[in-house]
């Protein structure tokens, strides 16, 4: 058996922190290799040199001491990106907490470079972007795909006499009937299936505008979406729809959604 080195380097993003003992903190980090809890000794002391480099949402390069049977210990830390805007702005900070909580809830320990890069770029944009609500809606679709819960939004997931409907979903502004979203079946419903299933638990209405935007959020890059105006009514509908979908698959409602701010409620 190859003996692991006592010290190792790790780059990570701080997803959460909790107090431990009289002066320490346990730091929840996402690295390109996985999610890990680390012990940061003395970081609650006013003179701690590491504390400022382990702020919430910071991307930090760390030297870590391996400990058998307990948390590994952060020996040194140097912030690569602190993102103070997410600390100082309540709205941006609430969005960032929601993003971090989704990562923690959907990915217990496993992670890869793709997830790490998604989180890093999303937090960086949240700190400076003028449309954080739209950014979070885009992030949700990318995270669900990585977690294996990507909703089917382009073909109907309803069933008719035991067979999946599969009708192509092409919402238009001129549509007079509503579409639907069924978290249990994993996606959107055509107008006929929504009419037949609308009274089932969990099934909710989707306007043509909301379904069209969900499809765009799933397929298009965020920079492209910023060129379009998202109506306030559609935005509210998207928030409610994705809260329902995510809460169903987590079997838990993210705590950060309980804070009312901007689009979050």
pLDDT above 80: residue 256: no
Please report the domains of the chain, with CATH numbers, ordered by start residue.
7-81 (2.40.50.140), 131-265 (1.20.1440)
Tell me the torsion sign for CA atoms 91, 98, 152, 237.
negative
**Mean of the pLDDT values across residues 87-104?**
94
**What pLDDT, on a 0 to 100 scale, did the predictor assign at position 257?**
57
Cα 260 to Cα 194, 231, 244, distances in angstroms: 30, 20, 16
**Mean of the pLDDT values across residues 107-133?**
92
High-pLDDT (> 70) share of the chain, % = 94
CA dihedral 23, 28, 29, 30 (to 10 degrees): 180
**What pLDDT, on a 0 to 100 scale, did the predictor assign at position 85?**
95
Tens of pLDDT, residue by residue over 2-40, are 566 799 999 999 999 999 999 999 999 999 999 999 999
**What pLDDT, on a 0 to 100 scale, did the predictor assign at position 28?**
95
Please give the model's pTM, rounded to 2 decimal places.
0.90
Pairwise CA distance, residues 242 & 202, whole Å: 12
Binning pLDDT at 50, 70 and 90, where does residue 254 land? Answer: confident
pLDDT above 50: residue 200: yes
**Mean of the pLDDT values across residues 127-153?**
95
């Amino acid at each position: 058996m190859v003996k692991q080195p006592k010290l190792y380097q790790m780059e990570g993003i701080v997803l959460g922190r909790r107090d431990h003992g009289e002066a320490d903190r346990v730091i929840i980090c996402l690295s390109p290799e996985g999610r890990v809890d680390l012990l940061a000794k003395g970081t609650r002391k006013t003179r701690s040199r590491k504390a400022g480099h382990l702020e919430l949402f910071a991307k930090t390069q760390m030297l870590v001491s391996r400990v058998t049977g307990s948390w590994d210990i952060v020996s040194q830390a140097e912030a690569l990106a602190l993102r103070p805007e997410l600390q100082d702005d309540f709205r941006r900070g609430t969005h960032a907490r929601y993003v971090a909580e989704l990562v923690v809830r959907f990915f217990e320990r496993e992670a890869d470079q793709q997830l790490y890069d998604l989180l890093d770029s999303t937090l960086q944009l949240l700190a400076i972007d003028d449309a954080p609500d739209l950014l979070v809606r885009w992030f949700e679709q990318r995270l669900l795909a990585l977690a294996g819960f990507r909703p089917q939004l382009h073909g109907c997931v309803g069933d008719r006499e035991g067979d999946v409907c599969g009708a192509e979903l092409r919402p238009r502004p001129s549509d007079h009937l509503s579409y639907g979203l069924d978290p249990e079946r994993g996606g959107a419903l055509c107008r006929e299936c929504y009419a037949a299933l609308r009274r089932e638990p969990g099934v909710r209405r989707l306007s043509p505008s909301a379904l069209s935007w969900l499809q765009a959020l799933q397929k298009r890059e965020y920079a492209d979406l910023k060129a379009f105006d998202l109506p306030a009514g559609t935005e509210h509908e998207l928030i409610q729809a994705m809260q329902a979908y995510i809460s169903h698959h987590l079997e838990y409602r993210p705590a950060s959604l309980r804070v009312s701010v901007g689009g979050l409620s």
